[in-house]
Amino acid sequence: MVDDQLMHALVQAARAARERAYAPYSKFAVGAALLDDHGRLHAGCNIENAAFPQSQCAEASAIAHLVLTGGRRILAAAVVGVAVDPVTPCGGCRQRLREFATDDVPIWIADLQIVRAHYTLGQLLPASFGPEHLA
Ligand code: THU
């Protein structure tokens, strides 16, 4: 169980990461932050590319840092974006998160001022395919 204080720290880390987004094409900056199984926070931003399909989502950037520093589990996540509707992870990123997270993992969705929505991974990606299927 991840307490609300830690969840808010994740939101803050995602907001800071969003400031570093490289999104000259969409102009849509996103930040993400993850809590790993060592209690560490990992943040990432979206990184776009002139060859559009080569762009990388914020969640993927954060996962790269988590893995690079030895993390193997995601215990909680926050995603920050600014839009009319809450900026939830795209379908591909839901699956990316699933690789390292279980259904009960909380995912908070925030903008620059408030937390807009609370989900679990299982709500965002029900009946998912994961590493257990290959075990
Ligand atoms: N984006 C993310 O970084 N994460 C998501 O889950 C949704 C979309 C980025 C990708 C692209 O750089 C921009 O937002 C517009 O789609």
Pocket test for ligand 1, best of 18, 34, 46 (most atoms within 8 A of CB): 46
Query: What are the pLDDT digits (tens) for 44-60?
Result: 999 999 999 999 999 99
Q: Which of 15, 22, 57 to mutate to test the pocket of ligand 1 (most atoms within 8 A of CB)?
A: 57
| pLDDT given at position 92 | 98
The catalytic site residues sit at 59
pLDDT of residue 1: 85
Nearest CA to ligand 1 atom 1: 57
Instruction: Identify the CATH number of the domain in which residue 34 sits.
Output: 3.40.140.10
DSSP 89: P
In a domain, 74, yes or no: yes
Per-residue pLDDT band at 100 (split at 50, 70, 90): very high
Residue 133 inside a domain? The answer is no
Q: Which of 23, 19, 32 is nearest to 100 (CA)?
A: 32
Range of 95's domain? 4-125
Domain presence at residue 134:
no
| Coil, strand or helix at 98 | helix
- Residue 78: both structure tokens together: 């926050």
As a whole number of angstroms, the distance between CA 134 and CA 126 comes to 18
Over pLDDT 90: what percentage of the chain? 99
Split into its structural domains, the chain has a count of 1
| 10-67 tens-digit pLDDT | 999 999 999 999 999 999 999 999 999 999 999 999 999 999 999 999 999 999 999 9
Q: Return d(Cα 126, Cα 18) in angstroms, integer.
A: 27
Is 135 within the bounds of a domain?
no
